[in-house]
């Protein structure tokens, strides 16, 4: 178990989540996280730009899934159809066996303003990437931004419901229902 144990990132993420859940985010120092992972502060910051990032390792994959789904959608698909496809494509990241970790992570983030702020940044990046992907297939500027915002709102709502304690409903079903609801309300709102 020397210096070259593999999976440094994974070890750091596990250690961080466990310590945050036990003592809280503020009361946990980077040195403690690194210690628990058998590493040092230096190595932590070589893997993560700051302390918050250790909880957001999977975000790049999420962005990739969203944009890939939109890029590979049929040219004749509607914008709303693209949103549905994008939401469906990320379901692979929210399998039942990841449910417990997701819930733990959700609680930790919810308890700390600094982490909620970082989550907003991640959501904004997601929205921005979706808008780019929509524009790339010819959607006009305003619709692209609006649809991306609705998509992120739907994702956030669906993720929260999926991760909430006790709810074992598949992510796809939740996301589908949320998106349909939002779409209907958008119609009513625009028509008023």
Binding site for DNA (CB under 7 A): 2-4, 8, 28-31, 34, 38-43, 45-47, 49-52
Q: How far apart are the first and last CA of the chain?
A: 65
**Contacts with its own copies, 125-154, as mask; x by CB under 8 A:** ---------------x-xx-xxx-xx--x-
d(CA 95, CA 171): 8
The angle subtended at Cα 121 by Cα 184 and Cα 83, nearest 5°, is 30
Distance CA 24, CA 36 (A): 15
Q: Which residues contact 125 (CB under 8 A, 6 or more apart)?
A: 59, 63
Nearer to its own copies, 17 or 182 (CB): 182
Instruction: Name which of its own copies, DNA, none residue 164 binds, using a CB cut-off of 5 to 8 Å depending on partner kind.
Output: none
Answer yes or no: are the C-beta atoms of 85 and 73 closer than 8 Å.
yes
Among 33, 118, 133, 175, interactor with its own copies by CB under 8 A: 118
Q: Which of 117, 167, 169, 173 binds its own copies (CB under 8 A)?
A: 117
String marking each residue 77-116 x if it binds its own copies according to CB under 8 A: -xxxx----------------------------------x
Q: Which does 8 bind (CB under 5 to 8 A by kind): its own copies, DNA, none?
A: DNA
Distances (CA, A) of 42 to 14, 24, 63, 84, 157: 18, 22, 28, 42, 37
Instruction: Transcribe 33-54 into DSSP letters.
Output: HHHHTT--HHHHHHH-SSGGGG
**Least distance from its own copies to the Cβ atom of residue 185, Å:** 5
The entry of its own copies, DNA, none near residue 43 (CB within 5 to 8 angstroms by kind) is DNA
Residue span binding its own copies (CB under 8 A) among the ranges 2-10, 94-102, 167-175, 184-192: 184-192
Considering only 61, 92, 110, 120, the residue that binds its own copies (CB under 8 A) is 120
What does the alpha-carbon distance between residue 179 and residue 191 come to, in Å, rounded to a whole number?
18
CA neighbor of 106 nearest in space, from 156, 164, 59: 164
Give the interface with its own copies as residue ranges (CB under 8 A).
78-81, 116-118, 120-121, 124, 140, 142-143, 145-147, 149-150, 153, 157, 181-192
């Amino acid at each position: 178990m020397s210096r070259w144990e593999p999976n440094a990132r994974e070890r750091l993420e596990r250690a961080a989540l466990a310590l945050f859940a036990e003592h809280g985010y503020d009361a946990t120092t980077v040195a403690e996280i690194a210690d628990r992972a058998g590493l040092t502060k230096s190595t932590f910051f070589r893997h993560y730009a700051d302390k918050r990032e250790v909880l957001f390792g999977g975000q790049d994959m999420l962005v990739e899934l969203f944009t890939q789904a939109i890029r590979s959608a049929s040219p004749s698909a509607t914008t709303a159809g693209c949103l549905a496809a994008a939401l469906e494509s990320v379901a692979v990241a929210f399998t039942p066996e990841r449910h417990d970790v997701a819930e733990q992570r959700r609680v930790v983030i919810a308890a700390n303003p600094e982490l909620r702020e970082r989550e907003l940044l991640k959501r904004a990046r997601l929205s921005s990437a979706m808008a780019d992907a929509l524009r790339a297939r010819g959607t006009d500027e305003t619709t692209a931004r609006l649809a991306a915002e609705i998509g992120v709102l739907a994702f956030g709502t669906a993720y929260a419901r999926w991760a909430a304690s006790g709810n074992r409903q598949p992510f796809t079903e939740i996301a589908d229902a949320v998106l349909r609801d939002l779409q209907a309300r958008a119609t009513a709102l625009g028509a008023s």
